[in-house]
Structure 1
């Protein structure tokens, strides 16, 4: 029996043979991406498992839209936020790099983020339901509203039981996402599909920012907005004495140092504020809130020994309004730049300030060391924030405290560009009433 083969078939077979000869080894085929159904808020979607690992990733843009999260992306970084909570990720181009680095994955069509880590960081609802994963906002309640007037600024602070996202709908209305109820005097409240709509008192252009479990709306510009603010935080206080050595309590030494430093800074004309004026107890969150908008925040502590430790917080400035402000800062024209500098300083400012402190402290013959620590009191400041631990041996006498307070004052004034040699008066004794006594207040 004869077999007839068409010319077209012969051509196809020849082409196939030539192709196999040129590519004897087939290109490796990536395994199919494992996926799983997911519900993001009320949006039906899916998660993927890059690199075959067991970590579910979800599309960042879908999460932001579905849950009302803040979204800030650019270059190799991506941040998602809810109120003052921020989850920041390095964006990697490959699946394996993203999984091993705990970062985001740049996939065709968008950026994907590790869902469990995002949920933990932003305190989101997260649940595995059989084959499905659900993520959403935890319910929140409005606890109250505080309206204050200070230095030309009207401030309306909405207090909540957890961090929430919010939108300024107009100069007299703010929308709270995912807030299911509550009550507050001085504002009006309406329930809407996405949460609560809050009517605000007063009128005029408004701006919104977040603090932990707070949504803050401000109007007006501070009368002293061009005058730097220095916040000094004397550690401990109230029922918390801190370290005790030879009957002298740390809380008394820190307050004495802070009061002396304030006196030394007074002639410069800068604004100086203490987080506590006497023997009061303050939470770490209260201290962080008090220093949030200071150009300089200095938290003062005392530790046994004769060394001085200077700490900056590597996570300082991760609040979204700070990171966004720092992005805007280089290209913002005057006079807006001066206003922006009242809220944020260039990145690295805390390290620069710590080095100045170290130089001034070393100049009086005291050894100092630089370090880092995740201190909550420093975490929300947009300027230069440092925690200083003085050795008991160096601050046990009035002369020692005066000398080190002067060193701090010199460093602050140099950092702010206001240092004058006449400001320095080493060796001046503080008034007797400001000297700590064993077991007593300054």
Structure 2
């Protein structure tokens, strides 16, 4: 099933008397996850490593968000090593205004065996993966805000908002860079998407295995434009 059709299917499957969207209102906090780091370089290009590109892009996104008044939490701010579990822990413990909600954006760089592979894509979690939203580790703030919802309801709405954000990022990117291949929104069994309770996306910015894309992703102007695109998509929610 295409992701757009899956989006509609999720809406249709929600119970008729479902409570209002728990992720309504404004995004208050954005958790930014710069993929890899430290002893884990990620994918290797001819001149740069994935871990360095993801951190530079994450920092550009942080600056753009803070200029617009968003709260920002970084899973890493330097070349440190974090496990996937630690990244999820940072996200799940992030503070946010009670009248708003947080989102999670993970930045990664793609790679392939062929230099011809190129393009931009965004991942959301697979719909058949359930996140345990409310358990013994849930903070008092989360319990207060979301205890009226079932785990199934919270997961359904997480999927809906995540899909909306991913689609918005792709749409804004395609408008800004019409000549770069758009690979679209995909779903995957990815740890950081399965392990975070808030709406979450993983952005694959481009292919480091493509010399052209590697050079473009290293440009500060491109990184700033990408940050603007992601923020625009957040504001479109």
Instruction: Compute the TM-score of the two structures, normalised by the length of structure 1.
Output: 0.37
Structure 1 residue aligned with 2:223: 401
Change (3 A) 1:317 1:395: same
- Structure scoring higher RCO (CA < 8 A, sep ≥ 6) equals 2
Change (3 A) 1:356 1:272: same
The one of 238, 252, 261 aligned to 2:52: 252
Q: Which residue in 2 is equivalent to 1:370?
A: 185
Displacement after TM superposition at 1:269 (Å): 1.8
SS of residue matched to 1:261: helix
Change in 2 beyond 3 A, CA 1:367/1:238: same
2:204 counterpart (389, 395, 401): 389
Mapped to 1, the partners of 2:162 and 2:58 lie a distance apart of 19
Match of 1:244, SS? coil
Paired with 1:352 and 1:288, the residues of 2 have a C-alpha distance of 21
1:282 aligns with 2:82: yes
TM-score normalized by the length of structure 2: 0.67
Q: CA deviation at 1:267?
A: 2.3
Which is greater in Rg?
1
- Alignment of 1:339 onto 2:152: no
Specify which of 134, 140, 160 is matched with residue 321 of structure 1.
134
- 1:307 aligned partner: 119
Q: 1:287 Cα shift?
A: 1.0
Alignment of 1:9-408 (within 5 A): 228-292=28-92, 295-304=102-111, 305-314=117-126, 315=128, 317-319=130-132, 321=134, 339-340=145-146, 346=157, 347-365=159-177, 366-368=180-182, 369-391=184-206, 392=208, 393=213, 394-408=216-230
The aligned length equals 178
**Alignment match of 1:411 (pick from 210, 222, 233):** 233
Change (3 A) 1:266 1:250: same
Between Structure 1 and Structure 2, the one with more helix by share is 2
Q: Partner of 2:114 in structure 1?
A: none
Unaligned runs of 5+ in 1: 1-75, 77-225, 326-335, 416-442
Q: Tell me by how many angstroms 1:317 deviates.
A: 4.3
Q: CA RMSD in A?
A: 2.9
Q: Does the C-alpha gap of structure 1 residues 236 and 247 become closer, same or farther in structure 2, counting only changes over 3 Å? A: same
Measured in 1, the distance between the counterparts of 2:91 and 2:235 equals 18
**Residues 349 and 317 (structure 1), Cα distance of their counterparts in 2 relative to 1, 3 Å cut:** farther
Partner Cα separation in structure 2 for residue 353 and residue 247 of structure 1 = 31
Q: Secondary structure at the match of 2:58?
A: helix
Q: Which runs of 5 or more residues in structure 2 are unaligned?
A: 1-12, 14-25, 95-100, 112-116
